[in-house]
Structure 1
């Protein structure tokens, strides 16, 4: 935008508007050119606004009514760019935008979302425009921003509170996490990646299925890769059928997806809820009439063979005792080939060392190549074993390694469920601070950790979980919320803790 500086000798109080782009003065004229031509410079202007005065600061010398009269002649897009140049001018731009009729704003809102005009979205949000308004195709602006890969606009439009509800309930909340599931179901990998980068949880669910399951059912390896790289639960089952991602990929003959899944740390082949849905059984069954399956069955057999070793029991015994000297001797003899092997107990040395709280043994095994995210035959990880035993030091160390914190083990619960149920506040806080979902639900009852502690009247744990983001209104399979469970526990202190939290949150 190029605006001529007003003549210092001319009294601005005598200025009269002469046209849509001119402001007249007694001795000079100030021409207001299109702001649109400067849209590319707007970010730089905004960045410099704190260092240098706005080049349009002289507009503030005009009376408020005159400024608004000038600004009303500008398009919404021009106002949005001008608003980026000065905090003071931004207030005027917002006020003018707020005065526009709803139909005009709606048209500009969706044009901005479709054309990646983030400045316009920011202006209309500041003007109080309803972010959840939908167009004729029943899409909102967040949909278009994510589809276009506009991370800045997606972050602006995403509502974390709605996300929490969208991940855990089936009541139609329009959270971005629920939208992530839809994009995964449609194979839109760019939108999935954008939403995750904006803060959506990769294990977003709808109708009991995770986004990863949806991407596999759509046979979209690009979406699968994005979700796995973001830490999606590789063992998360379909809650209605107990079907795992691997089992689903096998049924659909997706060799490339099976290969990706088998390469993930911690994937396991057992299915505690359904023998018929075991990946090996599925590969064998579908191999009878689908020529793609024998190759998949070979992959699985090769993968499973790598996890078994006749001498693994020696490692287990040393790990249980915390005997690092014997572990060192075994490592010298076998190298790393046996470290992640299963023993006759269907578990690994690392898991047993963690379960018994032997931090030195845990560190030694990982330094030799043991996988900290590996699952044993029961779906147990070293982290879940250490948390169940209450070994804070081991948990703290294991959290330094990348792994999914919301994996549901054979019992259908997560590490956070176990730590909460056992009344381990330091572990609960440690896990949530590390990224564990405070609203993670178990397999059968869809209970969150807060459901458990509320039911048993553990007031201290209730207060802690609420403070760390657990939702008091998340519904389980019976439609009960943690607050409902607190009333059922008949613990006045627990109910009072919920009421105090709700009152403080203004709910």
Structure 2
């Protein structure tokens, strides 16, 4: 089956290679097909059969295709019509037949070229004459504005140019770049064409888009006859300027045409003429490195120390570009080597900055000032070389020129600091080893070279510095960061490993805010660094000045993956510890027998308030959460899933609540967890070995755990806390200390407590949210002990009084607490309720007896979590 594409391809092949008979037979065979298109494109240039025939100059084949209804307007891939193709390839007879067949003479291709442009470009006078006689436009420009006359002048075809001028073509018409026929003739150094154009009244002072006139083009090309003709015969202006202020003399000096320079100077050019920015011809020649021109200009009395507007002299530009011969000649000619540019840089500084060692050596030989600082950066030549990494220059300046290695630039940066910041290790090592640079100098931020090397992750330099006895734990920065802090901030993993393993950096060092490197890694979500630091012994629960540990910083920033790993890692460490592990096994064993697990609402809570004879009872503990840094959430273990361990969490506790089951220090839902010692209420600081289940899952939308609660002072005066609008709390206490108790299940300094039933957590500003899904509340699966709801486990659909609603600035009033929505009350010795819903007041609680009361509790294990059963002991700790 013959398709249209295969048929078209066959016709193209017949046009290109076949005979006329073959093409005729093929056209007859396919012309009756409905889908046959004689103008279909094919080939690399997407030519139609007719454009292909016109390119090849096949007149008879083109006639045959035309008879077959081939279109004269059909174009190929570049937009060429059959007429444009015939003209570009110099096929006059074919172009004539196409025009006779009414081809469009004004049609253009994609670049705006028409048939006349192509004929002029090809210098085909006969075709140009024919096209012009056929009414082709002699003023039409292509896409760039190039006219037929410009094409003729560029190609140097004088006969075509003469014909076009006779045809009234505009002799001064320029393209979009401003080039006119005379510019092209001068650029091509076609003196005969230029003479004809000038004689035909071409403008010798017309400039292109950049302001270049015919004289400047002639000087650029170094054509002395051309320049002489334009100046003498055409009367061109020797002082004409470009848009930047350059004269013909500047142009000749830039391109090094000494004969033209000499002729221009004799013709009246000004050797001291300056461009718009003050650049003279000597500046130009020195920059390019034309030594003969520099010699000539100095002999011609050019100003050797003339400054540009920015203060740059010819010596400066030669030092920048590195032309040693020019520099030597300028120096020998008494150029001022101490002159500085506007920002204070000298010739030596510029040579050092650009790494031109021979020039540096020559300038030092001439007693250039090696300690001269710039005005803007206060940098020295040595600092400039260190900044750009030019080691040979640095070595020469330090060893030969005796440059100061401790000179400080603006911002306090030494050459060593600059080299480190730019990553030039070879230079830094040289300054430390050979230059004996000071390793204790700090910049304006207090950073030492070691800090900077750690920030850049330059382990080799760190090795050099520490080998030179630098203190790896120095805290000179404004943040009081150590090198390890800096490396963590910059996420330099290999540097952190090096500091920890090879140089024993203090992993527990705290900065100005009390934050360790682990704080920074957790806060920034740098999981690899968190793993390295924790594996090296970093404390997950070491609090900063605000009491916030790394774990909670990770939670606060939403780095759940890091938080989960840190908790699980701590759990693994706790389970693998020898004495603690066996201790906990004993505890668990005791719990399984129903011994020792304390009901937070039972009588055993009194143990949390035991005190010695020197203490007084603690009473009226109130919670102020309206204006604290982190609000408190106390939730049941049933809110949590998946067992995890939080060991040795340092918690600053300033107040406790007397409400509900939380009537004493043991009632913070840290079951059978007692403080080792308690100072006066406003000064209480204790350790709680807290365990919880699924802390990360439960707090996936929370911001962290509370580390400090601001509370009340004696006689109701609050210490660093303001009154909550919803609930006012008072604290009335004397100095009190709790008796150190030997609790069977908790060691507050060293034990990791497994299977704890509750956890203290916090969110932003007095807003606390546990994000456990309501539909999957694990409390709904907890069995009841003895037919009753387990203590500490409320109705899963009821609100806990101490769990604030999201983004609610008032504490929950407790009306929904319990299955019936009634707030449980606890009566004190005076018979008054400890919670008055009407007045929203708390009342005094009597201290518990010092006698230790054993709890009679039953335990129920749910998913590995021991839940206390209902106790027969009195609720709360309000009465003895």
Give the TM-score, by structure 2 length: 0.22
Q: Which has the higher helix share?
A: 1
The structure with more radius of gyration = 2
Give the TM-score, by structure 1 length: 0.37
